[in-house]
Structure 1
Amino acid sequence: MPLEPGLIKILEAYKLLPPTSTQNLAEARKAFDQGSLLTFTYKAPLRNVEDIKVMGSQAEIPVRLYYPHNLPEKAGLTIYYHGGGFVFGNINTYDNLCRAIAYSCNCVVASVDYRLAPENKFPAAVIDSFDVLKWARDEAGEMSISSIAVAGDSAGGNLAAVVSIMARDSGIPLKEQVLIYPATDFATETPSVTEFGEGLFLTREMMRWFGEQYLNRGSEILDPRVSPARADDLSRLPPALVITAEYDPLRDQGEIYAAKLRKAGVEVVNVRYGGQIHGFLSFWDVTPAASQAVAEIGSYLHRAFYGWET
């Protein structure tokens, strides 16, 4: 279907910006943060939002907890890993999206401020992400949490997929994984990269640059903690909701990973949003598909946690 009309003006504005690789890192991060706040202004009503610090194995990790009104006595917890190519993003830029997800699924959401590259290269983000899951497992009783899911978009979708594999291998039960236009294979250039790799927000050049910032050496693209699609065993993983966008260079990566999960016996729901670009959930004020996708994520998680529809 045609590109969502509301996104066209946004894309025209992005085309006027210099390439990410040529910008000062601090300025590029500031621009990313400001852009996120301008395109997602809806603040879902919640009972409480709390900032805490989780002591990880290598670092103290900021985590923001979102508590909806009328939580069940035994609530579900979704750990959310933000996008931004492992270089951009934080719990502030993703505040409104996490609020909306918590409200939609009526579950607690824990947004993770994992360490960013290039200051902290792979596997720092993976370690922080898994450390927060282990913390949640240990604190579940104290927090009256009945079960745990992981979710994330783009780079965060990559982390959610990786953590799901690590959780299985460590015997940590997960209820679900929600992978939103995830990066799953750094080593393969799929047709969607060729077709949509220019002028549609996320570009081939940006993907290359993000990889250079995140990785220590090129050979790491084959590590399953970088490219979960290359894991030897994808069986016995939690059920997955995989959301992809029609005009996204990462579209094929998400859909191929969904197919691999399904082939390995994992229950998978794969939804492609027509007319949308990479990052469309962060464009709440621009495209109706953002709120539709959040509602779908909310229903999926609500049903997984509590066994009935929202």
Structure 2
Amino acid sequence: MSDFGKEFWTKLGMSDPFASDAMIARVRDGMGKAPELIEATPPAILDTHDLDIPGPAGPLKARLYRPEHAHETGPLCVFFHGGGYVFGDLDSHDRVCRRLCAIANVRVLAIAYRLAPENPFPAAYDDCLAAFDWAVGQGAARIGADTTRVAVAGDSAGGGLAAAVAQARRGQLRFQLLIYPLLQLAEVRKDKLKAFEGHFVSAKSLNWIRDNYAGSTETARDPRVSPLFCTDLAGLPPAYIAVAEYDPLKDEGAAYADMLSAAGVRAELHFAKALPHGYFNFTRMLPVAKKLADKAADALGRALAD
């Protein structure tokens, strides 16, 4: 494991999260405590509200963030957290969502979807799609969403979920912010990966994620798991795709940007030099990460501006 990776997990009081299934509960608990240790304090926002919203298997926890000087209605970004479909919740990505809300000046609705291995595919996808439909449908008035100005966003596995929701609901949203997205789980062997091993995502961890979420390579080829396998990208909203140099997922992010462009979709690829997967969560440990996170949030705000 890299020195940076060791420092991160040491701060959380644990070892490699993919060492064994027994670590799942400890990592989930640790991630809820991580933000104050590794993330810079985000700019002020007006307020937050925790909600229960309808889901396909029961209520889903969600959190609404409203920017300062929010009007009765305004643009909305539906956010899906990362964590390999196994980890993450509303608290682990609270500061990321606050930063997006403040810098972009948009409402952010964060969704706590069901996690694997207790709830394998298609649970997370179904929850995220249902949450999006609620936010732009019967829930729009409750959260003050201007349904003509809607985006999806997510990091890592959440970025893959955001891309999949955008594919399913093209025409209903204006923008997609994909933060080092996990876009496919069918082919997890990586050439020349040794230099990147230990920076939070490796061939070992991708195999572990696939086994816990998708269950098989055949299932992993479903575009709802692996949006990179979607054969029709026409009509998708413009995309901002952030990738990191020390991240084995960067090639898929770049490939998706190329595929979108070939389909006539405006796609911006932003390459973070010398940064690892997960850098949006490391704004205290890596000050340059804060600048790049703010840059992405600003793009989100401009995309949803009136």
Aligned to 2:5: 11
Counterpart of 2:18 (choices 17, 20, 32) is: 20
CA contact (8 A) 1:107 1:302 kept: yes
Aligned to 1:97: 96
CA contact (8 A) 2:75 2:106 kept: yes
Aligned to 1:78: 77
SS in 2 for 1:213: helix
Amino acid at match of 2:213: Y
TM-score, with structure 2 as normaliser: 0.91
Aligned to 1:267: 266
Change (3 A) 1:72 1:306: farther
Change (3 A) 1:19 1:115: closer
1-side partners of 2:217 and 2:63: how far apart?
33
In the TM superposition, what is the alpha-carbon distance from 1:30 to its structure 2 partner?
A: 2.0
Amino acid at match of 1:140: A
Aligned to 2:160: 158
SS in 1 for 2:34: helix
CA contact (8 A) 1:20 1:28 kept: no
1-side partners of 2:179 and 2:192: how far apart?
17
Change (3 A) 1:19 1:86: closer
Amino acid at match of 1:219: E
Aligned to 1:296: 295
Aligned to 2:145: 145
Aligned to 1:3: none
1-side partners of 2:44 and 2:162: how far apart?
26
1-side partners of 2:58 and 2:208: how far apart?
25
Query: Per-residue CA shift, 1:59-114, capped at 9, x if unaligned?
Result: 21100000111124541100110000000000011111111110010000001000
In the TM superposition, what is the alpha-carbon distance from 1:11 to its structure 2 partner?
A: 2.4
SS in 2 for 1:65: strand
- Paired residue total: 297
Aligned to 1:216: 215
In the TM superposition, what is the alpha-carbon distance from 1:193 to its structure 2 partner?
A: 6.7
Change (3 A) 1:269 1:112: same
In the TM superposition, what is the alpha-carbon distance from 1:197 to its structure 2 partner?
A: 4.3
In the TM superposition, what is the alpha-carbon distance from 1:145 to its structure 2 partner?
A: 2.3
Worse overlay, 249-258 or 209-218: 209-218
TM-score, with structure 1 as normaliser: 0.90
2-side partners of 1:225 and 1:302: how far apart?
27
Q: Which runs of 5+ in 1 are unaligned?
A: 1-7
User: Is 1:187 aligned with 2:186?
Assistant: yes
In the TM superposition, what is the alpha-carbon distance from 1:25 to its structure 2 partner?
A: 1.9
Query: Per-residue CA shift, 1:216-245, capped at 9, x if unaligned?
Result: 333111100011111120111010000000
CA contact (8 A) 1:80 1:109 kept: yes
Amino acid at match of 2:301: H
Aligned to 1:232: 231
In the TM superposition, what is the alpha-carbon distance from 1:15 to its structure 2 partner?
A: 7.6
1-side partners of 2:59 and 2:24: how far apart?
23
Change (3 A) 1:19 1:128: closer
RMSD: 2.0
1-side partners of 2:192 and 2:161: how far apart?
20
2-side partners of 1:12 and 1:25: how far apart?
18
Amino acid at match of 2:4: I
Amino acid at match of 1:62: K
SS in 2 for 1:20: coil
2-side partners of 1:118 and 1:142: how far apart?
32
Taking the TM superposition and a 5 Å limit, the aligned residue runs for 1:62-141 are 62-72=61-71, 74-138=73-137, 139-141=139-141
Change (3 A) 1:305 1:106: same
Amino acid at match of 1:160: A
Change (3 A) 1:285 1:220: same
CA contact (8 A) 2:55 2:131 kept: yes
User: Is 1:203 aligned with 2:202?
Assistant: yes
User: Is 1:48 aligned with 2:47?
Assistant: yes
2-side partners of 1:173 and 1:57: how far apart?
20
1-side partners of 2:37 and 2:284: how far apart?
8
Change (3 A) 1:55 1:80: same
Aligned to 2:169: 167
Amino acid at match of 1:155: A
2-side partners of 1:24 and 1:142: how far apart?
38
In the TM superposition, what is the alpha-carbon distance from 1:156 to its structure 2 partner?
A: 0.2
1-side partners of 2:102 and 2:126: how far apart?
28
